[in-house]
Amino acid sequence: MVYSHIQDVLLGKFKEGETVNLRGWVYLTRDLGNLYFLVLRDATGLLQTVIRKSNTEPELLEKIKQISQETAVSLNGKIKKDERAPGGYEIEINNLNILGLSRDYPLSKKSHGVEFLLNHRHLWLRSPRQRDILKIRESVTWYAREFFRREGFTEVHPPMLTPSMVEGGATLFELKYFDRNAYLTQSSQLYLEALIFSLEKVWCLAPSFRAEKSRTRRHLTEYWHLEAEEAFYSNEDNMKLQEKLVSYICKKVAEKNREELETFQVRPERLLKIKPPFKRMKYQEAIDKLQRKGFDVKYGDDFGADEEEALTKDMETPLFITNYPLEIKAFYMKEDPNNPGTALCADLLLPEGYGEVIGGSERETNYEVLVKRIEETGQPIENYKWYLDLRKYGSVQHSGFGLGLERLIMWLLKLSHIREAVPFPRTPSRIYP
């Protein structure tokens, strides 16, 4: 038996009156006396099907009675154009088989509390809205890959289990690794830095972990981290690369995912506005701006969610904040020779107040300076023995960045919480299902 997809019908690939075989899950049922409507759901969409009871064999009517939400069925029917039907097509059912029954499906069409939905995430993912998020997520990763391939990058797979910490111990997940301890990676950057000496330009998309208690709309304990590292790139080159990447993804998604974007009331024009060059602002200017807005911040403070939101609330395009004070940024960032005391770095803030999505910088390449910077963090220098080797044997200028995939998706689709941007979200209070 050859089965078609709902999308094939909706795209008009069949003629009116033709017969198709479809299968999927029943999204909703409606009994209007002689007419029985059954909306079918498959991976590609929703389609209205109908049975005229007076025309129907008792055997089929018996089956129909057993169907409730999420029953799996296969069916055979005739295609009918019908302007009143959502999508413009309807199927008149000839025959139907029940593949798997469903009784008392816990997620009805009425609205549920967030905790209830998250406890049923394995079922909630079936909803057309969640499906659309998953499709957009795939698009974003596909176009990121396409972009990096065109730019001459090699995709690599860094390790998740690491012997030492990178961004400070407070937010590390620790585990027993046979007769020693290990940590879950917080960033693959140091490993990517090793790989540029082989491949020059590398990138990865891999999980990263943060044992942060912060229960904000924008934090996950496990997230997918898109990281890139580029030999011979200055911080300026690095920022241009980020602009191109983010713009490329926005353009492609705007072109290729119009249908999914509609679900979220996102007009493609909103994404097509995202074009290089992005606006830039020095950290000092950002502090001044925030003070003028009445924020209680001073030079040397890091930005919280509220500050980040305020900085781009009224913007329609992303904003780079550059030249953070060295002491509030990671040890591996290079000092800006033209602005001493600040780093050759940039955080990219999303428009409309969505906050940071990328952190990037040029890396310190000098062995002695780097040793000093590590010592200042109070961490044992032995933890960085192999990393320091990269500065001993043919050190070269290089830069890199890390992008939080879920944060980008959250902004793309105007999600109010990051947990919808990943199939099975992990937060301090949630690791189920």
What backbone torsions phi and psi does residue 43 show, to the nearest 5 degrees?
Answer: -65, -15
Least separation in angstroms between CB 403 and a second copy? 14
Least separation in angstroms between CB 407 and a second copy? 14
Nearer to a second copy, 57 or 259 (CB): 259
Nearer to a second copy, 35 or 175 (CB): 175
| Number of neighbours of residue 186 by Cβ within 10 angstroms | 21
Least separation in angstroms between CB 39 and a second copy? 14
| Number of neighbours of residue 316 by Cβ within 10 angstroms | 10
Least separation in angstroms between CB 155 and a second copy? 5
Nearer to a second copy, 300 or 428 (CB): 428
Nearer to a second copy, 231 or 241 (CB): 231
Alpha helical stretches, state H, 151-256 = 189-199, 235-256
N- to C-terminal Cα distance for the chain?
35
Nearer to a second copy, 135 or 289 (CB): 135
Name the token pair of 399: 């830069």
Contacts of 170 (CB under 8 A, 6+ apart): 211
Nearer to a second copy, 110 or 176 (CB): 176
User: Residues 78, 83, 89, 91: what is their CA dihedral angle, to the nearest 10 degrees?
Assistant: -40
What backbone torsions phi and psi does residue 121 show, to the nearest 5 degrees?
Answer: -55, -35
User: 410 by DSSP, 3-state: which?
Assistant: helix
Least separation in angstroms between CB 373 and a second copy? 18
Closest of 47, 42, 51 to residue 14, by C-alpha: 47
Q: What element of type H or E holds 21?
A: strand 19-32
Least separation in angstroms between CB 198 and a second copy? 5
